[in-house]
Each structure stands twice: as structure tokens, then as C-alpha cells.
Amino acid sequence: MASCIPERDGGNRQRLPGHEGIEEAWRNVREAWDEYRVQADDARIVGESLLVLGRIYARGARSGIEIDSDWSAVVQFKDGKAISAWDWLDHAPALKAVGLSE
């Protein structure tokens, strides 16, 4: 499975392939943030994708910067296995990714 973590402005994306990539992504999260909470308010299957809409709160480990924002994710499946995961600090890109609108 590949995980891709978009920047807030939709710019540089980091592709982290395989299980090792997922482990690296979460290791990076734990190092960067003292607090990191994601709240899923809505989760549904759309085609072969899982769409999750919610909110995120995080506080930087060194900077103390806080994020309190909408959050969304799309996990794509093939043959019953997760093959990619993307997340955003907005709902619109995730809805668009699965062919829906707000």
C-alpha cells in the first residue's frame, strides 16, 4: 500500500510505498506532533474506496503550532486490499477524489 500525505496547499506530496512506508509516515507523525487527534464524523464506501470526513487537531512537538481543521481521507481498495491512502485538511478534495461533491 502507498500512503501519500498532501501538504496543506496541495503542493509537495510524499509517497511512502508499502508497509514500511506506512510505518515511516506514522513515525514521522509521532516525532512532529506532541498531540495528534483525528475525529471521523462520517465514513462510507464509495465504489472501491473508503471516504472518511472529520476533523483533526494537532500540536507541534517543537514549534507548539496548532492545527484545528477539517480533515478527510480516501483509502482505495483492490481485490479487498488497501492499495493507497490519501488525506487532506479539507473535505472537498476527498469528495472530488471519489466523484462526489459537498
All domains in the chain, ordered by first residue:
2-96 (3.10.450.50)
89 versus 13: the higher-pLDDT residue is 89
Of residues 61 and 14, more confidence is placed in 61
Q: What is the pTM of this model?
A: 0.77
- Name all contacts of 45-52 with Cβ < 8 Å and 24+ positions apart: 46/98, 46/99, 46/100, 47/98, 47/99, 48/76, 48/77, 48/78, 49/74, 49/75, 49/76, 49/77, 49/97, 49/98, 50/74, 50/75, 50/77, 51/94, 51/95, 51/98, 51/100, 52/94
pLDDT of residue 73: 95
Out of 1-15, 25-39, 40-54, least confident range: 1-15
Q: Is the pLDDT of residue 90 over 70?
A: yes
Residue-wise pLDDT for 36-69, tens only, equals: 999 999 999 999 899 999 999 999 999 999 999 9
Check residue 15 and give its pLDDT: 67
